[in-house]
Amino acid sequence: MTEAQIRFPEGGQMGARVRELDWSQTALGPIEQWPQSLVTAVRIILDSRYPMFVWWGDELINIYNDSYIDVLGQRHPSALGRPAQETWGDIWDAIGPLVDTVIKDNQATFNNELELFMERNGYLEETFFTFSYSPLRDPDSGVRGLFCACIEDTERVINERRRQLLRTLGDSTHVLHSVDDALDGIADSLRAFARDVSFAMVYEEQDGMLVLQRAVGVDDQTDIAAPTVAITGDEPVPTGGIPPSILREVFAGGTAREVDAAAVDVAMPGGEWSEPASRASLLPLSRGGERYGLLVLGASPRLQFDAAYRDFFELVANAVSSLITRADAYENQRKRADALAELDRAKTVFFGNVSHEFRTPLTLMMAPIEEMAAEPSLDRQQREQLELARRNGQRLIKLVNTLLDFSRIEAGRIEARYQPTDLAEVTAELASMFRSAVETAGLEYHVNCEPIDESVFVDRDMWEKIVMNLLSNALKYTMQGSIRVDLSRTDDRVELAVSDTGIGIPAGEASRVFERFHRVEGAHGRTQEGTGIGLSLVSELVKLHGGDVTVESVQGEGSTFRVSIPLGSEHLPADRIEQMPQQESSRIGVAAYIEEALRWLPADLQLVGHDEPATQPLASAQSPTVLIADDNADMRSYLRRLLSPHYRIIVVGDGERALKETREQLPDLVLSDVMMPGLDGFGLLQKLRTNPATSSVPVVLLSARAGEEARAEGLEAGADDYIVKPFHARELLARVSAQIELARVRRGAEVRITNLLEGSTSGFLMIDAEGRYQYVNPAAEQLLGRSSEEMIGRKPDEVFPESQGDTSLDLLYEVLETRESKETEVFFEPWDRWFKTKIDPSLDDGVTVQFDEVTQMRKAIDAMHEVDRRKDEFLATLAHELRNPLAPIRNGLQLLLKSPDEKDPRQLYEMMDRQAEHLTRLVNDLMEVSRINRGKVELRLEPISLSDALQSSIESIGPELQQRQQLLDVTLAREPVYVDGDMVRLAQVFSNLLGNASKFSPSGGRIGVRVTAASDEVQIDIIDEGIGLTTDQIKSIFDPFQQVETAPSQRSGGLGLGLGLTVVRELIFRHGGEVRAHSDGPGKGSCFTVILPLTEAPLQVQARAEKAAPERSDKKRVLIVDDNRDAADSLAELLGRSGIEVKVAYDGSSAVDAFAAYRPGAVILDIGLPDIDGYEVARRIRQSETSTACLLIALTGWGQDGDRAESAAAGFDRHFVKPADWRELLELI
């Protein structure tokens, strides 16, 4: 080892470089001469994972470790062994004085996050380091160098600076009064961080142009900031500017892009640095999810533009987009608020103007109506129609007056007259006028107005409106219980309280009930009529009296409205105060309130007017039935009179009764108002559509909401038609008639479709939007095993609880959600069944499902795939097993070729012979399975001794047992056992079983054979101590191509083809027996049991004489015929070496000629010859007079029984299957 290797044995890459450098060429000299203090310092840094270096000697020669390589950048590895000032000349001004402090003053230094500008990667780079310099001393000469441990803080410092910029952008929300304010804040933030953003430009899209809004770090002499860029077009590239095509591409594509200054010839400002920037990023900006414009950000020329820099720019762009979006939202919200305020003012003025304009035509309408109604000559029907017009005219006048009051209050033009009033007397009188309506509704009514000891200044008409509105509201929303009116004095105020036990007000709505036009959603009153301005008017009128109104309410228990006004008149405008005694009210307005309230009551409780009976007489016995649902009694009466000449009519006043009557009588059409108390028109429609019994009933909605949007809403909710009030009588009649006729046609079509579905062999289901079955055809009942009664109205997981957790229903819910058709095959695991399913969305937001069971088809396909899989496995196994014996044979041949003078090649010969035998067995197994599968195996059954068959198999397996030093323990039955069997086949069975036992048992192990005879059968157990079997392996052990996977160390030889036990099972089955396997588990051995039926012992043993072979001529003269020259020549060589005289022919014609000339005693003849096949050659030879003494031997790859019979018929004496054992041929010859 060298001295460098001894002193610095480790140290990673730099340790190797230190050892390899020729230090004699440096100022430090050879390593052998280095002082121990230097060696120790170098060892410390080389073994450290912290960036370190040592500078030593007068020239401060540089030695550093692996962790310091990144600090050097491109200066590595040349910096090793070089003077420090030469390496770090660019920063020596900063670090030189620190070095002098250490070397000259013998003092250590420490610097935290020192900024250094170094050119270590080809450009001037902004870096930050924390490091310390410590003196290194030599005992003889004092301080000779320094030791430095350092860490680079560049990434941390830069990241913190960038986070500060993002925080600054985020903190700019206080200036978000407009988009311009936001852009100013963005520019100020970017300007303060010029080290990271050398320049910036913000472009906004305006009318097809990108317009520059703000620019940072760009002066007037810079051409990079184009003021405008057309989004479309192909204007020329401006000198010194970013090409417009790039700006357009980023804006249109919405994807960031980088621009290289050199590539596009652009001079980019460098921000805080003197050198220009080399790169910029163009990033898209968005506003509220839509494209806004572009952000151009210049990168620092002193930082690497890497992935982190790109991510930082992306975050800056996101922050800018967020600021612009929030500023735009704030600006839009402010504009909307201003617009709403202006709209509210305009609305008030409009209502005032409209209300004023309505009064003239209303007056001209009401006067003639009242005069006509006073005529005594009118009949009952005419008087009813005029009364209907008068009541609704009065209702319209009341609404107009209320709107006009609002307009006057808003404009400050209300003409209030405050008079001293006995408020208790007036309030009690007003309350008493409502008593009849309250008590008629079945409610208790309590009025308690305590006398007030002084007059209260109120406007009499305004006070009437306050009291009437509060009482109307209480009656409207109180269905049972009571209403109470209390008036009392509290200190210097008078308080009116109107309490009820009605439906109450939700907690979140109580604060809004006094807002104009606000109505509590879902409030169930006696009617849905109303404008939502009654309580708002009360609030405004109370305020005009210097008072206030409040509400206390508990939902479901009732409400209390409290009006409190001050006593005296000091709080009122002096010019509106009248000291005259109070005047009587006209009571005209009060009557309108009471009359309207009475019309809310059911028809049988009303005291004024009249309503129709629930059911009208039929127009004719066959007339369709129309159900009318409207909470307005006048509208019900009008519709009844209009439709009754043509239809049977059922009229109801609310949605709940309409639903009840529809379920009980199933009308031909439902004509319903949208606004009704309790269950409104849309709610009624939904309940009718979700009930299978009523889902097909046509529904026509009546509504005062006009416009296409309202009509679309009604139709989308499921209505068949939507009619806007006011409507013409003829239009209503025509549309009702059309819907009834359409329903009749639709029912006929549904009957025909139903008949088709009922007779279909495919399952068909209709499922609603909630996933419930609506229709199930008979085929579906049969396929699913459930009746339609069990399924309709229920969900799949309710009908089939076993589907819980199964994914087969996911497709159904996916189509319900996405409304996209799906067709696929679905496996329902709980039933182990396959269904081909097509699911389509239906018009009612549900789906239809058509399906057929395809389980048998899928099983057939799976079986085919399994066959293909096992075929592929078999081919792979066959290739593997054939290669196993071929490899050593080929290797042996190569050894013989390379060592022709091998003195004792017997070992190679025996190895190749064994492998050839193994190859023959593999092929024989394949042929055997093929014959069994095609039923070509013929058994020669005769009474045979079982012990003889076992003995034959033991002799065949003996060599293998000896080789593995395994002990065979045989226990036979006490008496001789005979079975009806084929001696050859049974010996084959037992050889196979014994061979497996040997293969999978350890060397030196024990194998047992136990024979047990019973009355009519014999059991043969072959037991081993081998690897054993798992339960799953036992189930499939006799299947074709099944192999027991084991480690090579656990078996002898290859795995084989997995066919041996299949042959065993089939042969035993054909003997009328059975075979089974047993094992206690892996590593615990196995037992294969064969059971065969017993037979009686033969009466005598007949000698079998072999067929006498004809006397041959000279058998040692042999003709070999084979078109495979290698096979023919190798066999000739083998026989020739055994003393046989051999002649070879390679085709049929030559064989016939050679036989005539050569006169051999035996002919070994291949069957598959190219010109004349072996059968024809044999026949020609047998036609010769000299052939009677010749032994004809067939040699072929075909060995089935039919092949043997055909060769015998052609004149062959024996039939050998390739590859034939040459020793057997030699013995035969």
Domain-wise residue ranges, the chain: 3-152, 168-337, 418-603, 611-752, 760-853, 937-1093, 1117-1228
pLDDT the model gives residue 725? 77
Helices (H), 11-142: 12-20, 36-46, 69-72, 84-87, 92-103
The mean pLDDT of 857-874, rounded to a whole number, is 76
**pLDDT of 824 over the 80 cut:** yes
Q: When comparing pLDDT for 53 and 983, which is higher?
A: 53
Asked if 625 contacts 665 with a C-beta cutoff of 8 angstroms, the reply is: yes
- Provide CB contacts within 8 A for 996, sequence distance 6+: 1060, 1061, 1088
- For residue 123, pLDDT over 60 is answered with yes
Q: How far apart are CA 638 and CA 636, in angstroms?
A: 5
Nearest to 251 by CA among 261, 238, 262, 242: 242
Rounded alpha-carbon distances, angstroms, from residue 988 to 669, 811, 991, 1068, 1074: 88, 56, 5, 11, 15
- Please determine, for residue 907, whether its predicted confidence score (pLDDT) is greater than 60: yes
Angstrom CA distances, 390 to 148, 366, 368, 544, 1056, stand at 106, 7, 10, 32, 108
Task: Report d(CA 165, CA 163) in Å as an integer.
Answer: 5
Task: Dump pLDDT digits (tens) for 929-954.
Answer: 666 665 656 677 889 988 888 888 88
Q: Is the pLDDT of residue 610 over 50?
A: no
Q: What is the pLDDT of residue 136?
A: 92
Q: What is the pLDDT of residue 245?
A: 85
Distance in angstroms (rounded) separating the CA atoms of residues 459 and 489: 18
Query: What pLDDT does residue 865 have?
Result: 81
Cα 613 versus chain centre, distance = 59
Give the residue-averaged pLDDT of 428-454.
Answer: 88
CATH topology match: 3-152 vs 760-853 = yes
pLDDT of residue 941: 86
- The arithmetic mean of pLDDT across residues 606-618, rounded, is 43
Q: Give 794-817 pLDDT, tens digit per residue.
A: 898 888 888 877 777 888 889 988
> Average pLDDT in the 1178-1187 region?
83
pLDDT-wise least confident of 118-127, 190-199, 261-270, 1110-1119: 1110-1119
- Name the pLDDT band for 518 (thresholds 50, 70, 90): confident
* Sheet of 1074-1078, strands arranged across: 967-971, 1006-1013, 1017-1024, 1086-1093, 1074-1078
Average pLDDT, the chain: 83
pLDDT of residue 892: 67
- 209-255 pLDDT per residue, tens: 899 999 998 876 667 888 888 887 665 555 457 888 888 889 888 88
Dihedral, CA of residue 715, residue 717, residue 721 and residue 722, to nearest 10: -80
Helix (H) or strand (E) holding 1050: none
Q: Which residue has the higher pLDDT, 134 or 605?
A: 134
Q: Is the pLDDT reported for residue 160 higher than 90?
A: yes
- pLDDT above 70 for 903: no
Q: What is the mean pLDDT of residues 1050-1074?
A: 74
Q: Give the list of residues 6+ apart from residue 456 with CB closer than 8 angstroms, or none.
A: 420, 421, 422, 423, 494, 565, 567
* Strongest mean pLDDT among 3-7, 554-558, 1127-1131: 554-558
| Predicted local distance difference test score (pLDDT) of residue 1210 | 86
Confidence of residue 511 (pLDDT cuts 50, 70, 90): confident
Average pLDDT over residues 830-851: 89
Burial class of 910 by CB neighbour count within 10 A (0 to 12, 13 to 18, 19+): exposed
Q: Which helix (H) or strand (E) holds 649?
A: strand 648-652
Which pLDDT score, from 0 to 100, does residue 238 have? Answer: 53
Q: Which fold has domain 760-853?
A: Beta-Lactamase (3.30.450)
What is the CATH code of the structural domain delimited by 937-1093?
Answer: 3.30.565.10
Strands 209-216 and 228-230: antiparallel
Q: Give the C-alpha separation, 561 to 466, whole Å.
A: 11
Specify the DSSP class assigned to residue 83.
Answer: B
Q: At which residue do the structure tokens 């019900």 appear?
A: 636
Alpha helices by DSSP H, listed for 1055-1103, are 1060-1070
Query: Which of the given ranges, 161-175, 544-558, 791-805, has the highest pLDDT on average?
Result: 544-558
What is the token pair recorded at 1214?
A: 């024996």
If you ran DSSP here, which 8-state letter would residue 1112 be given? P
Q: Is pLDDT above 80 for 409?
A: no
pTM: 0.39
| Tens digits of residue pLDDT in 293-310 | 999 999 999 999 999 999
CATH of 1117-1228, one of 3.40.50.2300, 2.60.120.200, 3.40.50.300, 3.40.50.1820: 3.40.50.2300
Q: Which CATH architecture has domain 418-603?
A: 2-Layer Sandwich (3.30)
Confidence at 54, pLDDT banded by 50, 70, 90? very high
Q: What percent of the chain has pLDDT over 90?
A: 29
CB 130 within 8 A of CB 113: yes
Closest CA to 1024 of 1066, 1080, 972, 1075: 1080
d(CA 636, CA 626): 12
Nearest to 271 by CA among 215, 198, 221: 198
Selection from 1159, 1088, 1165, 1067 nearest residue 1121 by Cα: 1165
Of 230-244, 550-564, 949-963, the least confident:
230-244
**Of 1055, 1075, 1065, whose CA–CA distance to 874 is shortest?**
1055
Report pLDDT for 363: 65
The HSE-up count of residue 147 (CA atoms within 13 Å, CB side) is 18
Lowest mean pLDDT among 20-24, 906-910, 1013-1017: 906-910
Identify the pLDDT of residue 921. Answer: 63
Tokens 């005419």 correspond to what residue? 382
- Mean pLDDT over 363-381 rounds to 74
The C-alpha atoms of residue 1068 and residue 1106 are separated, in whole angstroms, by: 28
Residues 589, 468: Cα–Cα separation, whole Å = 9
What is the CATH number that goes with domain 611-752? 3.40.50.2300
Instruction: In whole angstroms, give the CA distance from residue 335 to residue 341.
Output: 10
List residues bridging with 418 in a β-sheet: 577
- Is pLDDT of 84 > 70? yes
pLDDT of residue 351: 61
In this prediction, residue 1092 carries a pLDDT of: 93
With beta carbons less than 8 A apart as the criterion, state whether 944 and 979 touch.
yes
pLDDT, mean of residues 402-411: 67
Residue 1164 confidence (pLDDT): 92
Give the model's confidence band at 641: pLDDT under 50 very low, under 70 low, under 90 confident, else very high.
confident
**pLDDT tens across 56-66, in order?**
999 999 999 99
- What are the residues whose beta carbons fall under 8 Å from the beta carbon of 480, sequence distance 6 or more? 442, 443, 501
CA distance linking residue 445 with residue 482, whole number of Å: 6
**In this predicted structure, which of 227-236, 555-564, 699-708, 1109-1118 has the lowest mean pLDDT?**
1109-1118
User: Quick one: what percent of the chain has pLDDT higher than 70?
Assistant: 83
Binned at pLDDT 50, 70 and 90, residue 609 comes out as: very low
pLDDT of residue 306: 92
Note the pLDDT of residue 614: 40
Confidence of residue 107 (pLDDT cuts 50, 70, 90): very high
Q: Return the top range by mean pLDDT from 381-395, 507-521, 623-637, 923-937.
A: 623-637
Cβ–Cβ < 8 Å for 744, 812: no
* Residues 702-738: tens digit of each pLDDT: 887 766 777 788 888 889 999 887 777 788 899 999 9
How far from chain centre, in Å, is Cα 123? 48
DSSP 8-state secondary structure symbol assigned to residue 202: E
The predicted pLDDT at position 661 comes to 92
Helix, strand, or coil (residue 502)? coil
Contacts of 389 (CB under 8 A, 6+ apart): 369
Q: 168-337: which CATH number, 3.30.450.40, 3.50.50.60, 1.10.4080.10, 3.40.630.10? A: 3.30.450.40
Higher pLDDT, 571 or 399: 571
DSSP characters for 235-280? PPPPTTS--HHHHHHHHHH---EEEEHHHHT--B--TTSSSPB-EE
Q: How confident is the model at residue 1019 (pLDDT cuts 50, 70, 90)?
A: very high
Residue 1105's pLDDT is 34
Q: Examine the pLDDT at 1113 and tell me if it is beyond 70.
A: no
What is the CATH code of the structural domain delimited by 3-152? 3.30.450.20
pLDDT computed for residue 586 by the predictor: 45
Name which of 747-751, 770-774, 848-852, 1068-1072 the model is least confident about: 747-751
If you average pLDDT over residues 575-584, what whole number do you get? 69
- What was the pLDDT predicted at 413? 66
C-alpha torsion 573→579→584→588, nearest 10: -20
